[in-house]
Amino acid sequence: MEQSFELADSTDWIDTPLNLLGPLESSLRCQICKDFFTSPVITSCCHTFCSLCIRRCLSSDHKCPVCRQADQELKLRRNWTVEELLENFKKARPSVLGLARKEAARIKNGGDDSSEPSPKKRKVNHLDEPEPPAALSPRRVRTRSRGAKVQADPTHGQEEIEESDVAIEPEVIEDSQDEDYSDDGLVPCPICNRRVRQDTINTHLDTCLAGDSPKPPPVKSSTAFGYRHPQGSELKKLERLPAINYSLFKEHALRKKMRDLGISDAGPKPLLQRRHTEWMNLWNANCDSKNPKSKSQLARELDTWERTQGGNAVPSAPERNPVTSKDFNAAQWSANHNDEFKLLIANARKKSDAQVRSTIPRVSESSNAAAEIPSPTVPSPHFGTPAADQNDSTPSG
């Protein structure tokens, strides 16, 4: 039970004779999450990360976290070589690490490993074992050992075999020329190896030579390392989600888009943006995976992100105003914000006094200007002479 909680780390190789495998394992780990690569992708600056890790970084910073060079999600490409190397390393890691720890323990105990001796000779007693049935067809047996020496004694029925350190594994080679088929009236065609009736073998040979015989289905061959890239017919190709400009999206349109994607549209607009960005990262990273997850699994991962990071990442305003609440405590609110109220009142009085002082000089200036204006005179019918002089100059009649 304790081994199930053991976390694999590159420092496991430090105290072993194979401590040089520590840097090798570190190079197979993502520099963001520090775990083995998951769907590794390579950036335009030739750095490799997990698909989800680098997409989260680029969606917020638009720079490579290692060299700080500008990059985009559209430039990410799958790194098939690293993924193949990682799969083979993860398969071999437990056994190699176990052997390295055993060797380290043996060296620590003084190199005495006599508890498990490796025998050089063994005796095989054929009298205790049942004899194998007679072979139906003759076979040729070839072994790959070079120095295997067999000494047989037919009288005692025992064999003494001297073995090398490498285990000898016999390889059985079938001889098709000497192989006897069941007596069903069918014979193999020497061209296509199909079994046909003996009386029609000549006609079948003519058909095979003409190239009209149906060919057997080809055997699927793997690559040199036993890894084959998934083809489009084997995996249903998933369409990636494009990035959108949230500043051009109204809140109603963004909610509708999230409903179309099948995710929640609750919360303010900043939370909607983060939720959509995380869903886009999860979906596009799933498109890079060799074994893509279902939409329900991605929805559960989004819900986990929502409960752990999404709601606490961006501070949002409360959805309802506490002042308008039914259970609002005015006295407590006034006591908590008394200093703020006093500061607001003092600032308001300063502004009021400044406005009054600025209006007093304007009133005095307007009154002085009104006193300096002369009173208007009554115009005379004769241009240039006042009315009094005109009355004095008229003769009495």
Q: Is the pLDDT of residue 78 over 60?
A: yes
Is the Cα torsion angle 64, 65, 67, 68 positive or negative in sign? positive
pTM: 0.44
Mean pLDDT of 339-357: 85
State the DSSP code for 309: I
Q: Is the pLDDT of residue 12 over 80?
A: yes
The per-residue pLDDT for 352 is 82
C-alpha dihedral over 65, 67, 73, 79, to 10 degrees? -100
Q: Is the pLDDT of residue 176 over 80?
A: no
- The domain defined by 12-107 folds into Herpes Virus-1 (3.30.40)
d(Cα 306, Cα 325) in Å, to the nearest integer? 28
Taking all residues of the chain, what is their mean pLDDT, rounded to a whole number? Answer: 71
- Is 282 in contact with 301 (CB distance < 8 Å)? yes
Q: Which are the contacts of 352, defined by CB distance < 8 A and separation ≥ 6?
A: none
User: 261, 282, 278, 281: which is closest to 270 by C-alpha?
Assistant: 278
The per-residue pLDDT for 47 is 92
The per-residue pLDDT for 161 is 44
Q: At what angle do helices 51-60 and 269-287 cross, to 10 degrees?
A: 150
Of the pLDDT bands very low, low, confident and very high (cuts 50, 70, 90), residue 315 is very low
The per-residue pLDDT for 53 is 92
For residues 268 and 387, the model is more confident at 268
Mean pLDDT of 80-96: 89
Mean pLDDT of 367-393: 53
User: 246, 235, 291: which is closest to 268 by C-alpha?
Assistant: 246
DSSP 135-154: PSS--EEE---SS-EEEEET
d(Cα 118, Cα 156) in Å, to the nearest integer? 26
The per-residue pLDDT for 60 is 84
What is the Cβ-side half-sphere exposure of residue 255, based on CA atoms within 13 angstroms? 8
- Is 127 in contact with 157 (CB distance < 8 Å)? yes
Q: What percent of the chain has pLDDT over 90?
A: 5
Q: Is the pLDDT of residue 241 over 70?
A: yes
The per-residue pLDDT for 376 is 56
The per-residue pLDDT for 175 is 45
| Most confident among 91-95, 114-118, 350-354, 375-379 (mean pLDDT) | 91-95
Residue 188's DSSP bridge partners are 195
pLDDT by residue (tens digit) across 143-175? Answer: 444 444 444 444 444 444 444 444 555 555 454
For residues 70 and 323, the model is more confident at 70
Burial call 28-64: b when 16+ CB within 10 Å, e when fewer: bbbeeeeebbbbbbbbeeebbbbbbbbbbbbbeeeeb
d(Cα 31, Cα 48) in Å, to the nearest integer? 9
Q: Is the pLDDT of residue 235 over 90?
A: no
Q: Is the pLDDT of residue 58 over 80?
A: yes
Q: Where are the domains of the chain?
A: 12-107, 121-173, 246-313
Count the Cβ atoms, other than its own, within 10 Å of residue 207: 17
Strand-strand pairing, 40-42 and 121-125: unpaired
The per-residue pLDDT for 41 is 92
Mean pLDDT of 121-149: 47
User: 252, 299, 243, 227: which is closest to 82 by C-alpha?
Assistant: 227
Residue that is written with structure tokens 């072979």 in the block = 135
Mean pLDDT of 343-372: 73
